[in-house]
């Protein structure tokens, strides 16, 4: 899993929030980050170092205070919010630490909903696509089960299938094994990274978990990116 060009490039990116008396709380500062196409990059950092903020900026969930973020050749910081939402739905898969599955829907329906919003996969193909992904992730017999009927490892597999549903070139993962026991984490991670490698997707994981740190083609540290926090 190695790429020659960049799927993601950040230059001079900062994120700060206003405090009292005109001060600002800077939660992230990245001088430069380039994520190669079809690579698996793991960024490690302690709690509070800005890892989730980094992913949210790349996904266009939030916008930087300053700087440039290019994803799949598009300067997302130049897009208005509705365009960023459409771009994210179609071009970025996001695996959340808390899974974020809808409790009233089955595993199959949770994956299909991602395709409904993005409108990338033809409607007539959505059910088959969801079944195919869940089967590849070992959940072929659990399609009708709701999240409460699944183990935490199975719930994370559903979340991974949902992130892959629209065939996005970029997958972001925020501490994907944080709420799993060590054995389950290894199993889920092996399947997750394996699918991304097979399909030559770009995978960017942020984590402090030792099980995750050894999976990447390269390992970066938040501090080395120029990350910083404090009042400015």
The confidence score (pLDDT) of residue 1 equals: 55
Specify the pLDDT at position 231: 36
pLDDT value of residue 138 = 93
* Per-residue pLDDT tens digits for 111-152: 999 999 888 999 999 999 999 999 999 999 999 999 999 999
Kindly list the structural domains of the chain, giving each domain's residue range(s) and its CATH number in brackets, ordered by start: 6-102+147-231 (3.40.50.300)
Query: Residue 145 in 3-state DSSP?
Result: coil
**How deeply is 17 buried, as exposed, middle or buried, from its count of CB atoms within 10 A (0-12, 13-18, 19+)?**
exposed
Low-confidence ranges of the chain (pLDDT < 50): 2-3, 228-232
Whole-structure pTM value: 0.92
Number of C-alpha atoms within 13 angstroms, CB side, residue 215? 30
Question: Do the bridges between strand 74-75 and strand 24-36 make them parallel or antiparallel, or are there none, so unpaired?
Answer: unpaired
């Amino acid at each position: 899993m190695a790429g020659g060009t960049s799927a993601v490039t950040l230059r001079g990116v900062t994120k700060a929030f206003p405090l009292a008396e005109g001060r600002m709380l800077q939660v992230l500062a990245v001088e430069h980050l380039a994520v190669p196409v079809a690579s698996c990059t793991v960024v490690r950092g302690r709690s509070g170092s800005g890892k989730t903020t980094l992913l949210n900026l790349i996904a266009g969930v939030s916008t930087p205070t300053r700087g440039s973020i290019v994803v799949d050749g598009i300067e997302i910081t130049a897009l208005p919010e509705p365009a960023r939402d459409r771009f994210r739905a179609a071009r970025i898969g996001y695996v959340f630490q808390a899974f974020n599955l809808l409790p009233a829907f089955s595993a199959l329906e949770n994956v299909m909903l991602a395709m409904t919003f993005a409108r990338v996969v033809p409607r007539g193909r959505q059910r088959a696509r969801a079944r195919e992904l869940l089967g590849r992730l070992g959940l072929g017999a659990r399609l009708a089960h709701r999240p409460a009927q699944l183990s935490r490892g199975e719930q994370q597999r559903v979340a991974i299938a949902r992130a892959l549903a629209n065939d996005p070139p970029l997958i972001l993962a925020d501490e994907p094994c944080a709420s799993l026991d060590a054995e389950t984490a290894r199993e889920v991670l092996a399947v997750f990274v394996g699918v991304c490698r097979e399909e030559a997707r770009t995978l960017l994981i942020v984590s402090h978990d030792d099980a995750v740190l050894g999976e990447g083609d390269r390992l970066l540290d938040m501090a080395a990116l120029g990350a910083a926090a404090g009042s400015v």
